[in-house]
Amino acid sequence: MLETIWFVLWGILWAVYFLLDGFDLGIGTLLPFLTKTENERRTAYNAMGPFWDGNEVWLITAGGATFAAFPGTYATMFSTLYTPLMLLLFALIFRGVSFEFRSKIDSKLWKQIWDVSMTAGSFLPAVLFGVAFANIFKGIPFDQYYVMQGNLWSLLNPYGLAGGILFALSFTYHGAIWLALKSTGSLSEKSRKTAKKLWPVLAVAAVGFLSMSAKFTDLYDNYFQKPILFVIPVIAATGLVLSFLCVRTSLWLAWGFSGMWIVFSTLFGVAGLYPRLFPSSIDPGFSMTIENSASSPLTLKIMLTVALIFVPIVIAYQVWAHYLFRHHITDADLQKKESY
């Protein structure tokens, strides 16, 4: 029972991370395409600035939950996916540094260096997360000794690349709506139009990924065994459609429904995996599951208590941060010392 509870929490933590950090990664990816002036670039940075480090807390929490609740999965994941995870780590480091370093020297070249770091440090994680999770859904080629029988290039298979494309499109669409919501004038309108243009491409990628999942994975086995689970992809698709319908009328609703799409599309894969966490494509018997990779019942109980205490505190902090910085970003805001 405790293992199942932690499996559900594990999936929710990843889904919430993608919901919150997704718009940061999306804005960073779109930075060179949507911003043409220094004020527009600074507006984009300030649309992310008050939130990005709080959003990263969910990544740390998801990773920490994997380590504490399922140490066997954590160890296998980091040994088999070492190269992509290191690339992901360095990309996130350069992205985080970009926020702080960009304004330190008043030089066009200096700022361009950190703008490139921001874009690369946003696009690369979006793609890598998608490639990694798609390959997890498909199964990682590791043997009974938990040794990877492949390399980074073997992860770039058609299904893995489809996952990377889907994640990147989901995040850029999510980010375009957020930037439209937080900015004013021409930047807001450009971002809104970009979201409208991205949506059809995202919809095609989503349909393609769901179709490929039937061919390359066994995710649907759980759904056919328990048809009630089909409510998860239905909610995800509903969120995606409603988001597009609301882009013209209410950006807040559009962003909320976009978040619904991200959360439930993530849970679609998680529900299909159960009770596995890290399947092996070589032999299902080598897979890491909630039974063979979980911590002791005492550890799971202690960690559940810790989570029930501190996760609400994190949520309260983020709600407060979003309330405090709820206003649109104007040129007057860019003159303040606290701005990026």
Is the confidence at residue 145, as pLDDT, over 90? no
Q: Which residues contact 272 (CB under 8 A, 6 or more apart)?
A: 137, 213, 217, 218, 219, 220, 221, 222, 223
- Where does the pLDDT of residue 201 fall: very low under 50, low under 70, confident under 90, or very high at 90 and above? very high
CA torsion 263→266→271→274, rounded to 10°?
Answer: -130
pLDDT digits (tens, 9 = 90+) for 93-115: 999 999 989 988 889 999 999 99
CA distance 305 to 321: 25
**What pLDDT is attached to residue 1?**
84
- Tens of pLDDT, residue by residue over 80-95, are 888 889 999 999 999 9
Round to whole Å and give the CA distance between 175 and 198: 11
Q: How far is CA 309 from CA 267, 306, 314, in A?
A: 24, 5, 10
Q: What percent of the chain has pLDDT above 90?
A: 73
Q: How many angstroms separate the CA atoms of 278 and 76, rounded?
A: 8
Q: According to the model, what pLDDT value does residue 200 have?
A: 97
Question: Would you place residue 321 in the very low, low, confident or very high pLDDT band (cuts 50, 70, 90)?
Answer: confident
pLDDT tens-digit series, residues 240-273 = 999 999 999 999 999 999 999 999 999 999 999 9
Angstrom CA distances, 73 to 76, 116, 324, stand at 5, 34, 38
Tokens for 211? 């179709």
**pLDDT at residue 37 tops 80:** yes
Cα(324)–Cα(50) distance, integer angstroms: 9
For the chain, what percent of residues have pLDDT higher than 70? 100
Query: Under DSSP, is residue 288 helix (H, G, I), strand (E, B) or coil?
Result: strand
Show the CA angle centred on residue 324, arms to residues 253 and 189, nearest 5°: 45
Residue 133: both structure tokens together: 């999770």
Residue 340 has pLDDT above 80, yes or no: no
